[in-house]
Structure 1
Amino acid sequence: MQAKLTETYITKLKHKSERYDVRDTVERGLVLRVGKKFGAKHWHTFVYRGSKRRMVRLGLFPHMSVRDARMAAIQAKANANAPWTPEHIKTVADLFEEYRKAREPKMRAWRDVQSAWDVWGEEFLGYLKLTDVSIHHGRELRNHVSKKSTELRGSAVIRYIRPMFSWAVDESLIDENPWAGLKATAIATPRDRVLTNEEWQKVWGATFKDNLGAYFRFLMLSAQRKDNVASMKWDEIQGNLWTIPAEKFKATKKESAKAHEVPLTPALMEILENQPKRGPFVFGPTGLKQLRLGSREKDRLAKKAGVDDWRLHDLRRTAATRMTENKIPRFIVERVLGHADRSVTAVYDRANYREEKRQALNELSKN
């Protein structure tokens, strides 16, 4: 119901079996709520922050008069339209720091987010006041990265940084996501490059002429991710079994990551036995630090092998293809690769398939 609220009118209002509201016809949004039990009369008003509506409690009648309630409603609506952020979050750089504290412990791919911010985002956005950020800054950042690098990289940077603003809205740090309509349209085309048997043999032969040859050979015969092999430690090896710790293993969420067992075939054991133990890490010049590889090392090997147009990850795809061609069931190949099994059966099946994986890798070694 609605009425022109006055002290006399309000005094005559009686409580009912259910609470009810009376809307003021003078000040839009001002409401008097009459309680159902004792008939207490509270002033409220509705305000909008962006597209969201919320109710603000103003005071209790008769302690707050009609005139004061109308003035308070006007002030509440004015405050709602004013930009607000916590005192310690003034710039986008401040927001990113809060985002990092909240998300880094939970995100397996946080390294990619941090890299996108360090290389591109901080310089372009960090100095901006949080209240000044708009979708135009996102478009400019995307275009800047695309021009300096590639369109694919430009879209990737947006996809890594944009969730920060959604998170800030959920945490009530900002009212609206300024990048809500920002598109990151460039998508990587899945690669399907598989080395032929001849190319595989050429690359294998070239590894014996390279000072990182042991790493490349282990990569080819284990079918594991290049970063996991590069960061391999001696204490992860027990007998003829290599266990990649959960914190190193790729997963969308850290809590869903699990340790991955890689059976070590005689061929893999031979590579390890010939590696000098100079530090905690298996591969690398000194063994004291994780092996860091760039495109230069791979290009050097490709030149020695005389094989063009391939990446290190293509070795993993080729290894998986070779195992399948050797009649290894695809399910076992997935277990070798460490791919997640999202089927319902996986909830009940807790077998480690260690011997089946060992057989698959033995078949790969024959190539």
Structure 2
Amino acid sequence: MPKLALTSKAIERLKLPETGQVDYFDKTLPAFGIRLGSTTRKFFVVTRIHGKRARITLGDAKVGDGPGLSLSEARQKAGDVVEQAAHGLDPRQKRKAEVDANKKRTANTFGKVADDYVEKYAKRTKRSWKQDERILDLYLKPKWGDWPITDITRADVVDVLDEIEDGKIKGQRKGGTVAANNALAVVRKLFHWAMDERALIETVPIGRKMKRGVVVSRKRNFTDDEVRAIWKAADTIGGFKGAAVKMLMLTGQRRAVVMGMKFSEIEGNLWTIPGDAEGRAKNKREHVVPLTPQALEVIASVPRVEGKDHVFGTGWRGDRPLNIGSKLHNEFTEKCGFDDWVWNNLRGLVATRMRRPLNVSPAIIDAVQGRLDQSVQGQHYDANDYLEDKRAALTAWANLLDRIVSGEDAGNVVDISEVRA
């Protein structure tokens, strides 16, 4: 085989054969050379791997300003191959692993992983899977859909959160802190799922301090004046909406639970919230709420729509629960004169006032609000357990709320033990 002092100029001058292949070995590095084909120039190196002679192709040769390996790069690569072979390593296996890894990387695009996340995880484990799907379809898949998921960096996450917060995503109604943080929560869960359950990525490209702005805390201590203002706003707004908010304040149940309240769930002064898969109890266990006279009065104040079962539903769009979201919240905040609270804070209000000043035990408060006790005793919890204790706690709270709304001195309260007696 011909030998040649390979230089960049010499490689450019080499004439390609019309047919077949011609090899030129380098005089400087004898095991190194270039193979010419009718349309190709490829660097190679010859070495021994596990005692057998092997020719390893290094890559296309660079000609002029074209793509490929420069002569110095090819010589360096040849030296690496010879060194690996001397240590018993087969560079062909390494290259195959790199090719396979690249195929896997390009096959697992963010869009594909997002679809798998919805089908294989979110739909099976999350009631809010439709919200996850909507966030992925609206904000993230249009941005990263064709990207290999392994290529997404922290900077990419920051960029898309900025766009969501500023309302710059196509099809987005409005931006804001809440929208950005909701997207962050979904994409964080997706990346952790991709890493922990699917082994598609090695690290999660999300930092601890990526959450946007200051979001209203779930914990909010209301003054008596603020409680009175919200109740008065419910009086002013009236109708199904005002009654629904009063029921939130009287029972301390979750918003979705109260909004979905049905007449068929009420028997006398007991409200039984179904706990099956179609029910609204978050822990999927039946939950009984004693209804105080004040709560029954609120229910009696709303008109019963013929053929409709939902208590807080107009019926004009079918037998559907009332939706109290940001629009109604804005209406309330305008009438109250303060806006640093969210609907869930009303649930916290009930728990806080039951604990102090009403001296209700934390276990009974949890029972009232349907929180699942993880203790051994809690695992054997029955829907009717603590029924009289729950009734006493809710009665004491309703009476205290009456005094707050009427402007009486709420500091001189009746201890729950006296109510129970």
**Counterparts in 2 of 1:1-367, with a 5 A limit?**
5-6=50-51, 26=85, 73-74=93-94, 76-84=96-104, 91-103=109-121, 104-130=123-149, 132-148=151-167, 149-150=175-176, 153-170=179-196, 172=198, 174=200, 176-177=201-202, 179-180=204-205, 182-186=207-211, 188=215, 190-210=217-237, 211=239, 212-246=241-275, 247=277, 248-249=279-280, 251=282, 257-275=284-302, 276-278=304-306, 279-286=308-315, 288-305=319-336, 309-324=340-355, 325-347=357-379, 350=382, 352-366=385-399, 367=401
The one-letter code of the counterpart of 1:195 is: F
Deviations 1:85-122 (A, max 9, x none): 69xx6642232111111112212453553343244223
Displacement of 1:282 after TM fit?
Answer: 1.6
Q: Could you tell me which amino acid in structure 1 is paired with residue 119 of structure 2?
A: K
Rounded to whole Å, the distance in 1 between the matches of 2:245 and 2:216 is 25
Which has the larger displacement, 263-272 or 212-221?
263-272
**What is the aligned partner in structure 2 of residue 61 from structure 1?**
none
Cα deviations by residue, 1:38-67 (Å, 9 ceiling, x for unpaired): xxxxxxxxxxxxxxxxxxxxxxxxxxxxxx
Would the aligned equivalents of 2:252 and 2:347 in 1 still touch at CA under 8 Å?
yes
Higher deviation after alignment, 224-233 or 163-172: 163-172
Q: Secondary structure at the match of 2:371?
A: coil
Aligned partner letter, 2:96: A
Structure 1 residues 12-33: Cα deviation after superposition (integer angstroms, max 9, x where no partner): xxxxxxxxxxxx9837565xxx
Change beyond 3 A, Cα 1:177–1:161:
farther
Contact in 1 for aligned 2:256/2:280 (Cα 8 Å) = no
Cα pair 2:274 2:281 within 8 Å, conserved: no
Q: Is the 8 A contact 2:85 2:91 kept in 1?
A: no
Distance 2:235 2:243 in 1: 8
Please say if residues 165 and 177 of structure 2, whose CA atoms lie closer than 8 Å, have aligned partners that are also in contact.
Answer: yes
Question: In 2 relative to 1, CA 98–363 (structure 1 residues): closer, same or farther, beyond 3 Å?
Answer: same
Structure 1 residue 197 displacement after superposition: 2.6
Structure 1 unaligned residues grouped into runs of 5+: 8-23, 31-69
- Determine if contact 1:91/1:127 at 8 Å carries over to the other structure: yes
One-letter amino acid matched to 1:258: R
The 8 Å contact of residues 194 and 315 in structure 1, kept in 2 or not, is answered as no
Task: State the alpha-carbon separation in 1 of the partners of residues 311 and 88 from structure 2.
Answer: 70
Query: What is the TM-score with the length of structure 1 in the denominator?
Result: 0.69
Say which one has the larger Rg. Answer: 2
Amino acid at match of 2:309: P
Specify whether residues 331 and 170 from structure 1 end up closer, same or farther in structure 2 by C-alpha distance, changes over 3 A only.
closer
Number of matched residues?
Answer: 303
Q: Distance in 2 between matches of 1:328 and 1:203?
A: 24
Q: Report the residue type matching 1:240 in the other structure.
A: N
Residue 397 of structure 2 aligns to which amino acid in structure 1? L
Contact 1:203 1:301 in 2 (8 A): yes
| Aligned-residue offset at 1:224 | 1.0
Two-structure CA RMSD over aligned residues (Å): 3.5
Give the aligned residue type for 2:185.
Answer: R
Q: Which amino acid aligns with 2:305?
A: K
User: How far apart in 2 are the matches of 1:213 and 1:223?
Assistant: 15
Deviation at 1:144, TM superposition (A): 2.2
Shift of 1:84: 1.0
Q: Counterpart of 1:51?
A: none
- Could you say if the C-alpha distance between residues 177 and 162 of structure 1 is closer, same or farther in structure 2, counting changes exceeding 3 Å? farther
1:348–1:217 Cα change, 3 Å: closer
Q: In the superposition, relative to structure 1, how do residues 172 and 245 fare at CA in structure 2: closer, same or farther (>3 Å)?
A: same
